[in-house]
Structure 1
Amino acid sequence: MAKSSQRNRKPHTDKRRDNDALSSSIAVAIEPIVTGENLYLESVKVGRAGNRAVVKIVVDLPDGPGGVDSDSLGAVSRLISARLDDVDLVEGAYTLEVSTPGADRVLTTPRHFSRSVGRLISIRGADGTAKIGRLESVEGDTLYLKGDEGTYTWALSDIESARVHVELSNSQADSED
């Protein structure tokens, strides 16, 4: 009978729990820096790439339309890097990635929807209904989506998934040249 070797490894769920705890500790350490730069800390995730930790941080504007400009992103990245070096939460070498949610973000919170007013979005309801339209407004837990057939009203709790669509019109494309 062959003998199987066993390694002393943590189960996968323990690693995930450790990464979640580390992500939470990092969020607590950097949130004052992010808010001090007039930004919102969207998420912190810790993973691995080979034998290096990868710390992924997503920042956004707190409210209103628009996005984080590259100067602000660079400045907050440098401040976060310095803070992580000071608090020494991540063992060994790590890669720090600081980014924004992106133009075609998935919408999951009331804040995401409020920031997307005026944008073209697609929504799939919990009942399977799917619509694409322009997000007109968000009032409390209700959003108003203007589609080809009129305005649709959705309770946020009835939305299974929603995503912003990237739009490039000729005037936008011309102004970016």
Structure 2
Amino acid sequence: MQKHNLQDMLEPVVESLGYETIRILTIGQVNPTLQVMIDVKDYSREINVEDCAKVSRAISAVLDENDPIKDKYSLEVSSPGLDRPLTKPEHFNRFKDYVIKVETLTEVEKRKRIKGLNLGLDTNNNVRIDMDGKEYVVAFDNISKAKIVITDELWEKYQAEHETVEL
């Protein structure tokens, strides 16, 4: 099954439930895992287990009906996590000022991997990254993979937002 066919089939289901599809991957050849990563469309809160279960049930029904994966497989619906992939242009503006790692299809100034501060998108849909004081400009269409890097600062922010107090 082609990635785009799965995406075309599943993305409308995910979106109809009020979620954004971050990524759809098939992992492995024998008994593969179909991984569907989701987020809340308006980013007003974090994804929880109930969200994943709801999407999983809806996707399972569509997959059972259409049978796009002929062999036995596992379905995994999850949140993007702290080191979330950046798969759409708008993600680069949403996560501006985060440290990111980008892999490119073709070299950009003799590099295929760039890790630095995300400066967001310019008006031509190019991702701007500051790596050690040098700005790299990468066309969004030239990105094969991009994700947020978990830094000490990001981890501390996450812990502060999720701090629990024992009573």
Count residues with an aligned counterpart. Answer: 152
Q: Which runs of 5+ in 1 are unaligned?
A: 1-18
Report the counterpart of residue 8 of structure 1 in structure 2.
Answer: none
Residues 1-177 of structure 1 mapped to structure 2, 5 A cutoff: 19-20=1-2, 23-48=3-28, 50=30, 52-62=31-41, 67-107=46-86, 109-122=88-101, 126-128=108-110, 132-133=116-117, 135-140=118-123, 141-143=125-127, 154-157=136-139, 162-166=146-150, 167-169=154-156, 172-174=158-160, 175-177=162-164
User: What secondary structure is seen at the aligned counterpart in 2 of 1:84?
Assistant: helix
Assess if the C-alpha contact under 8 Å between 1:118 and 1:136 holds in 2. Answer: yes
Report the counterpart of residue 10 of structure 1 in structure 2.
Answer: none
Assess if the C-alpha contact under 8 Å between 1:55 and 1:96 holds in 2. Answer: yes
* TM-score between both structures, scaled by the size of structure 2: 0.64
Assess if the C-alpha contact under 8 Å between 2:96 and 2:119 holds in 1. Answer: yes
Kindly, what percent of the aligned residue pairs are identical?
22
Structure 1 segments, 4+ long, off by >4 Å, are: 61-67, 122-125, 128-131, 142-149, 158-162
Assess if the C-alpha contact under 8 Å between 1:43 and 1:58 holds in 2. Answer: yes
Deviations 1:127-167 (A, max 9, x none): 2575633x454343245557885xx6543329877541222
Q: Which runs of 5+ in 2 are unaligned?
A: none
Q: Computing the radius of gyration over CA atoms, which structure comes out larger, 1 or 2? A: 1
Displacement, 1:84? 1.2
Distance 1:154 1:137 in 2: 11
